Structure 1
């Protein structure tokens, strides 16, 4: 018996099927993101500039960020390379993240990276020697690498691990009105266009039909079909794992672009896979205890997942298109009275009081916010149209002075998370983050972009959260 067959025989068909469902799950999230764009006037490789901050009506992505303006595109490198023109941005946090087909944040340009304005070439890294990520062109260097891609006029090369992907640029908006025009001007200076490139293998163009046609309405079957359809020309992020992935997919009935049912009960196996992912991703070492019942994703398990397909599934389900930890961290509060669940709940007359001992620590251009989500993980409709609260809000100290002002004062302050239909006293309006009207299930996410190391190494004390009676006038 050959070594390859011996390794494959170690796994049952059900085990291989469970692996395949976990491996291919992010394709559902990719299709949900890409299909509306492909069906619109934009198609592939065209920037779609969002001009407004996300509101409760935005439901393309769960747990959306309500602090930044998005510029997005569905990328297709099947027939050509791309050039992205990066504008000069000196007065705010910004990031240009690139994601592969499976949701890996494999490259970033932006304020954290101190990226230079100019042109960057995006190419499918189809050769083993082309590591995914950004390769900067040295000054006055004519040739960028062994493949003789000309560096003339370029700031760098972005190697994509899959020919299909996503770009979601983010620009911080300081407030909801006067700063929007400045962000729009930056967006208008951003450009994306195709350039010719050799392709040694035939890769189909990314189309609505490729993402949507001839697929089962049964979700587990659909995952298997999509995995079969895309795997042949969208290999694993980690080259060293390609042989293992191919063996597992083949044993699960996925081969040569097709899925042949093996007799496994897909519904039962999919349920087992989901529960296994939840258990795996919700506990150490994948989760870091930040104290005061705040927990964060382990930095090594955030954004670019390598061979960690369970964590990749988990993020695709709960927070698709998250950034790597060097760009942002996303602590969540877990209710100690509900088994440590991130799912919180309020009665119509309850609230959460969040007490900060000091301002969250940030690096240059960094920002922070706390966002409330409803049971479906979407933003909460409310009369103030306020979906997050943070360092750009008019937060006040107990004495009424502004938390963020020209003063160097850095003391304790509080945020009130209270149902949207229960208006608090006027002295709490500035510090009120509306929760779902009538109470019910919800969650809160604390975002820190360009966070200081003290936010992750235990030096800074995370806020204390307490359930209290709602504050009323």
Structure 2
């Protein structure tokens, strides 16, 4: 094939189209998996209904990697093809952070994703619940009409929208979890005409397809053959406008017979399989951000991508559903939990005076084992920084102790100690909610620094 100029050109074009369509396919595979149910449950909900996460993660929970203990999640896959839907978010107690991240089918996060810091509109009374709510009219491409008073329009370029909502927990007590789940119960998602008529609404049951694979989307997408991937892409393009509109890509899709669909123009199966392999290789080796003191994270080129399709595909492959930098950042680093002799290692993370994470909401540090699950430990400490303010030293610096054994100083154990595994490797994620990105120093965060190995007691 490589000796045929026409085939080489087709392969290059199909590879570009694979990278272009990767995020769209990942979103669709995720949507199918998370909506394949008749009624909402702990991990799924029918289209246009909420899946509410109502319990805190534990080390025994293996359904989600790298979970956080800072918020409870609300998810919904939304279909706007039949008309606008109204999203209601209750007014919460002062100081409680919340974010309703809204993404189009291409995984772009809307700049109008409302939060407690930028709610976009004033609250009004929901008479069906007798509570004050923020009300948003979610509209799809091409929708035209007048909205009733009290609604803030949030327009999308695609009919498919993915909502990932986060509501802050102030601690891990049962009472606090009940407070947040109470707010979740007051959230509503209903058709615009029903909302305008008074809002009395019971959503219809969903559907369950027992033949639908339960394979995680990140694995399912790699199992698709080249022809299967491009068949999926062609089908999705029939009802998913390009975001943003792109004449060059439109011409490429037409040339390949993908959109408008033309079976006679499609490359042969061998070429499409080669394009899949080349596309996956390009995504895997895409130039990611340069680590800062061992931490990997992005402050630009994430959350919304324009025509940077390689970046969009790369982010979808490592963390589908990325936030905008002004909403949340997630620096990550890690290392070995023991030395070559199996002796547990201890680390410190020291923020010099005046260099604590700059946030408008809050921050936390969470540890994970080599499989990206929470680290089992006798004290049930999985994250620090958020629920209790870490102690500072006499010089104003704040040192966090990242190690398996408790620090010798009891004062450090309550808020400055994060347990890690006693073997293998570990990673930590520094979560910054509503970060002040303009205040991030070029060499921040400081490095996670190894210290003298810890010898377990006894």
Alignment correspondent of 2:17:
20
| TM-score w.r.t. length of structure 1 | 0.74
- For 1:1-16, what aligned pairs fall within 5 Å after superposition? 12-16=9-13
Establish whether residue 465 from structure 1 lines up as the match of residue 457 from structure 2. no
What 5-or-longer segments of structure 1 have no aligned partner? 1-8, 128-146, 198-205, 334-342, 400-409
User: Are the equivalent residues in 1 in contact too, given 2:254–2:261 (CA < 8 A)?
Assistant: no
Q: How far off is 1:94 after superposition?
A: 0.8
Alignment correspondent of 1:429:
413
Deviates more, 1:269-278 or 1:71-80: 269-278
1:457 to 1:252, Cα distance in 2 relative to 1, 3 A: farther
Q: Distance in 2 between matches of 1:216 and 1:49?
A: 26
User: What is the aligned counterpart of 1:52 among 51, 55, 67?
Assistant: 55
Alignment correspondent of 1:130:
none
Alignment correspondent of 1:320:
320
User: SS of the residue aligned with 1:105?
Assistant: coil
| TM-score w.r.t. length of structure 2 | 0.76
User: Are the equivalent residues in 2 in contact too, given 1:277–1:310 (CA < 8 A)?
Assistant: yes
Q: How far off is 1:181 after superposition?
A: 2.5
Alignment correspondent of 1:332:
332
User: SS of the residue aligned with 2:230?
Assistant: helix
User: Are the equivalent residues in 2 in contact too, given 1:229–1:258 (CA < 8 A)?
Assistant: no
User: What is the aligned counterpart of 1:456 among 419, 440, 444?
Assistant: 440
Deviation per CA, 1:380-434: give whole Å up to 9, x if none. Answer: 44444433222323633468xxxxxxxxxx8222223335xx5655735333323
Alignment correspondent of 1:247:
251
| Count of equivalent residues | 404
User: Are the equivalent residues in 1 in contact too, given 2:70–2:386 (CA < 8 A)?
Assistant: no
User: Are the equivalent residues in 2 in contact too, given 1:44–1:75 (CA < 8 A)?
Assistant: yes
Q: Distance in 2 between matches of 1:20 and 1:377?
A: 32
Q: Distance in 2 between matches of 1:356 and 1:216?
A: 40
User: Are the equivalent residues in 2 in contact too, given 1:62–1:318 (CA < 8 A)?
Assistant: no
Q: How far off is 1:368 after superposition?
A: 0.7
Establish whether residue 357 from structure 1 lines up as the match of residue 352 from structure 2. yes
User: Are the equivalent residues in 2 in contact too, given 1:95–1:169 (CA < 8 A)?
Assistant: yes
Alignment correspondent of 1:133:
none
Deviation per CA, 1:225-268: give whole Å up to 9, x if none. Answer: 321221111122202x1x33333334455345688552445555
| Structure with more of its chain in strand, by fraction | 1
Q: How far off is 1:363 after superposition?
A: 4.6
Q: How far off is 1:319 after superposition?
A: 1.8
Q: Distance in 1 between matches of 2:296 and 2:117?
A: 23
CA RMSD of aligned residues (A): 3.4
- For 1:30-69, what aligned pairs fall within 5 Å after superposition? 30-32=28-30, 34-42=32-40, 43-56=46-59, 62-69=65-72
Alignment correspondent of 2:147:
150
Establish whether residue 185 from structure 1 lines up as the match of residue 190 from structure 2. no
Establish whether residue 344 from structure 1 lines up as the match of residue 330 from structure 2. no
Q: Distance in 2 between matches of 1:252 and 1:58?
A: 44
Alignment correspondent of 2:224:
219
Q: Distance in 2 between matches of 1:261 and 1:274?
A: 18
Q: Distance in 1 between matches of 2:7 and 2:139?
A: 37
Establish whether residue 125 from structure 1 lines up as the match of residue 141 from structure 2. yes
- For 1:60-459, what aligned pairs fall within 5 Å after superposition? 62-89=65-92, 90-106=94-110, 107-115=112-120, 116-117=122-123, 118-126=134-142, 147-154=144-151, 156-177=152-173, 178-196=175-193, 218-221=223-226, 222-239=228-245, 241=246, 243-252=247-256, 254-256=258-260, 262-264=268-270, 268-282=274-288, 287=289, 291-299=292-300, 301-333=301-333, 344-347=335-338, 348=342, 349-358=344-353, 360-364=356-360, 366-393=361-388, 395-397=390-392, 411-419=396-404, 425=408, 427=410, 428-430=412-414, 431-440=416-425, 442-453=426-437, 455-458=439-442
What 5-or-longer segments of structure 2 have no aligned partner? 1-5, 41-45, 124-133, 195-205, 214-219
